[in-house]
Amino acid sequence: MRDVYHQELDTVGRTLVEMAGQVGSALERATRALLGADLALAEAVISADDAVDALQRDLDVRTLDLIARQQPVAGDLRTLVTSLRMSADLERMGDLARHIAKVARRRYPQPAIPEELRATIEEMGRIGVVLAGKVAAVIEGRDAETARELEREDDAVDRLHRALFGALLSRENPYTIETAIDVTLIGRYYERFADHAVSVAGRLIFLVTGQDARASADSRP
């Protein structure tokens, strides 16, 4: 029975890794759809989000069932409770990729991003995909040290997000209200995607060390 129990615990971890891989792929494809005004790709991203939602539902049911049946304590209980929170973050990351794809679909056949802002959006998307990949790796390896590195990547996304606002406010490139709204929303979607990735990393640090990642960071000199 204990062997079955630990196999079920492993399945929870593998599902989280799969979710991280899927949301990273979704963001990469959503970015391509956005910059390339690719309607078919945008539709594919939107449809594929159902699979991420299904994984979250399955993981949550499986996790709650394990808690009810096995009544875990200490590290196992922390693993299961933390997994529930990670799955919520990952599901939200999938939603944010879908939102980006929806903007691409709404503006088709026109590109939603002005030419002079494309490089910034492309870089935000690239970093987001890297973050999702690192999230999968730190979950799979329970790698708290790598998890702590994700915050630096998030800082880069925050800088790019601020740069977008600076461009929108520039007198040299007056944008229509429609474009300004699109760019504002898109920038926010990428920024929140990165925030959720960092949140997953912080939960992994708590899982491995038993310490809140934010408290640990505040205590460092």
Interatomic CA distance for residues 47 and 42, integer angstroms: 9
| pLDDT interval class at 135 (50, 70, 90) | very high
pLDDT digits 0-9 by tens, 92-132: 999 999 999 999 999 999 999 999 999 999 999 999 999 99
63 burial type by CB count under 10 A (0-12 exposed, 13-18 middle, 19+ buried): buried
Contact criterion met (CB below 8 Å) for 113 and 121:
yes
| pLDDT interval class at 188 (50, 70, 90) | very high
pLDDT digits 0-9 by tens, 46-82: 999 999 999 999 999 999 999 998 888 888 899 999 9
Interatomic CA distance for residues 104 and 182, integer angstroms: 10
Give percent above pLDDT 70 in the chain.
95
| For residue 39, pLDDT beyond 80 | yes
What sign does the CA torsion over 181, 190, 205, 70 have? Answer: positive
Least confident window among 23-37, 145-159, 160-174: 160-174
Mean pLDDT computed over every residue of the chain: 91
Domains for the chain: give ranges and CATH numbers: 2-219 (1.20.58.220)
| Residues 6 or more apart whose Cβ sits within 8 Å of residue 105 | 33, 39, 42, 43, 46
Alpha helices in 37-176 (DSSP H): 39-70, 74-107, 118-141, 144-168
